[in-house]
Structure 1
C-alpha cells in the first residue's frame, strides 16, 4: 500500500528557540511540506527557513489579511483556522495535520525508531478507511520530575526541553492519588488540552477546529451558541485514533511562561474556556498575587512528587525517554545563534513585555522561576 502524503500546518509567534525546533524536528519526518504562518514578522526565522524548500513560509501581515478580505482576527484560534484553510487550498497532500510550535510528533513507542526524530505518519494515514475523513493524534504532556538539590551550575544549565511526559487517564481516583489536592487543577491528569490534535483529509467537507472537527450542521449549531462548545466524542463525525504516533506537548516552556499564559486569561477575564481544571488554575492566579503561591501552583500541577512518580510509573502513564531538539536544531540552522537555557528564555520573556510584568508585580523574582529547586 502506498503511503499517504501529509503536510503540517502551524501558526507561529515567538523567538527562534521556540519556533525552529518544531521545524527542525518535523523536517526529519515524512511530511511532504511544513506550512509555517508567522503571526508577526520574524526576520531571523524567515532567513533561517529560506533555504529549506519543504518549509512554506507565509507572513501574516496586513496584505495577507487583506487578501482574505478581512481584518486580522483578534483571536488567535480564528487566525489559526483561517491559516489552516489557506494551507489546504495551496497544498497537494492527502492529509493536513495542524500543530503548534510547542508540539512534536513522535513514535508512540520511544524505541520504535532509532530516535524520536524518525517519524513516518504517512503509512498509518494510508490505512484509514476511505469513509473516514479525520483522525485524532493523542498528546502527552511535559512535566517535571521530583525536585532534587542542584548546584548553581546545574540550575543554570537547565533548558526549556527538560522533563518527562505524562499520559492522561480518566481514573479520577488514580489522579487524586498521584496529585493530591492539585488534582482539582487537572483533567484526566492534564493541565492543558486532552483531545489531542487533528489530521484532516485535504478535500474533506468537514469543518476543522484545533482539537476536533464538526459536520456542517454542528458548525451551524456552534455559530448559534454562545460560550464554549464541546460536543462529546460520540457526537463528532466518525474518526480514527492514530495509534503509532503521539504529540509531545510543552504546556509552558518554563514556570514563568506557564504563569504568564494563565495571567493572560486573567487579564481578558476569560474564566470560561478550556476545562474545569484549567479554569481553576486561572482563577487561582487571579486570586493569589503572591509570587511564591503562583510558583507553588506550578510545582503542584507541573512537577511530580515522589508519590506521583511512583503512582504514574506503576500504571504505565509516564514516558521517561528524554526529548530534546537542541542538537538537531543547531545542525539544521547552523547560522542562527541559539540559547535554550531556561534562564535565557525567561530573561527574553521579561524583556519582550515589561509592561505586562509591571502590571503583575514582576510575577516572580528573577531566578525564582527556575525549574531547579532543592
Structure 2
C-alpha cells in the first residue's frame, strides 16, 4: 500500500489563490489539506466557511485567541508563525507524510515524488523536494495568473554566467532565481519534531537526518502578478523587515532597490521585468544549459471540481483588483 500524504500552509492571500491551492492539492491526492489563515478579517471568515464545505480541509484563522493559546502572542516573524502552524498540523494529521509549503508553491510530478517517498529509509525524518521558479516569457498569455516556464537553481560555479545573463539585475538573483533555492520538505509523521519552513535543520534544530529528491518537483509561482511581486517586497520594508534586516545578498539587493525607488513605478516595473520576465535570448541560454523547464500548473479545473459555487477566474486583473483590498 502506498504511503498517504497531506499538506499544510500558512496563507495571507486573496481568496482565489487560497481556493486554487486547496483544490490543486486535493486533485493531486492529498488526504488532508491544513490551512492557517494568517490574519482575521471578513474575507478570511468567508474563506474558512467555503473551505469547510470539504471534509478533507481543516482551516484555522490565526486570530488573537489562537495565538494566545499557541504562543502567548502572535510572533512577529512569518517563519516562526509558519513553524508553529505546521507543527500543529503535524501533530494531528493521520497521513504518513506532511508537506509544508507556501500558497504559491505547487507540487508536480506527483507520481515520481510518491514513488521516491516509498524508497526513503526510515532513518530519514524529512525529504526535501527541490524547487523551480516560474518566469514569464513572450509565449505566455499576459492575462493569465499561471504559466508554464520555470527556471532551475544552478550551482555557484555558474554564478558569473547568471550574473551576466540578467544584467543589470544579475546581483539580485541567487543561483539563477529571485526567491529561495532550497525547496520544501515532506516530513515523516509519528515522530517528535518541530516542522521547519524548508527542512528540519534550521532555526537551531540540528541532528535530524533528511533525504533530497534528485529532480525539481516544487513549482514556485512567487510572481503571480507584477503588482503582487513588488507589493510583497514593499510590505516587508514597511513592516520593518527591509534590507537592513536581511542577510541573503540577493534578497537584500532586491529590497534595497525597491526601498530606493518606492515612488518610481516605472523603475519598479523595469526591475520586475528584469528579474522575472526573460527575453528570447535569455530563454535560449537557459534552455541550452538545461536550466529552463516546462510544466503546466492549472488549478482552475480543480476549483470547478471541489468548489463549484466559487466564481474565480485566476486572471491577473482579478488578482490585482483584490490586492487593493488587502
Task: String of CA shifts for 1:314-347, please: whole Å, max 9, x gaps.
Answer: 1222122432212221232110111322122212
Aligned equivalent of 1:254, options 189, 205, 225: 225
Verify: 1:241 aligned to 2:241, yes or no.
no
Deviation at 1:285, TM superposition (A): 0.8
- 2:186 is aligned to 199
Q: Unmatched 5+ residue regions in structure 2? A: none
Question: Is the contact made by 2:38 and 2:61 (CA closer than 8 Å) also made in structure 1?
Answer: yes
Change (3 A) 1:121 1:127: same
Verify: 1:123 aligned to 2:115, yes or no.
yes
Question: Is the contact made by 1:121 and 1:245 (CA closer than 8 Å) also made in structure 2?
Answer: no
Verify: 1:145 aligned to 2:137, yes or no.
yes
- 1:316 is aligned to 290
Change (3 A) 1:98 1:40: same
Change (3 A) 1:287 1:163: farther
Which range is displaced more, 66-75 or 84-93? Answer: 66-75
Question: Is the contact made by 2:14 and 2:323 (CA closer than 8 Å) also made in structure 1?
Answer: no
Task: String of CA shifts for 1:251-285, please: whole Å, max 9, x gaps.
Answer: 13111111111112222152143621111011011
Question: Is the contact made by 2:7 and 2:98 (CA closer than 8 Å) also made in structure 1?
Answer: yes
**Alpha-carbon distance in 2 for matches of 1:119, 1:104:** 14
The residue correspondences of 1:277-316 to structure 2 (distance < 5 A) are: 277-288=250-261, 289-316=263-290
- 2:174 is aligned to 187
**Alpha-carbon distance in 2 for matches of 1:73, 1:79:** 6
**Alpha-carbon distance in 1 for matches of 2:235, 2:65:** 28
Aligned equivalent of 2:67, options 62, 65, 68: 65
Change (3 A) 1:177 1:255: same
**Alpha-carbon distance in 2 for matches of 1:24, 1:33:** 11
* TM-score, normalised by the number of residues in structure 2: 0.89
Give the greater-gyration-radius structure (CA). 1
Q: Aligned residue pairs: how many?
A: 318
Deviation at 1:51, TM superposition (A): 2.6
Change (3 A) 1:135 1:326: same
- 1:211 is aligned to 198
The CA RMSD over aligned residues, in Å, is 2.4
Give the 3-state SS of the residue equivalent to 1:214 in structure 2. coil
- 1:270 is aligned to 242
Question: Is the contact made by 1:143 and 1:166 (CA closer than 8 Å) also made in structure 2?
Answer: yes
**Alpha-carbon distance in 2 for matches of 1:270, 1:123:** 41
* TM-score, normalised by the number of residues in structure 1: 0.78
Give the 3-state SS of the residue equivalent to 2:324 in structure 1. helix
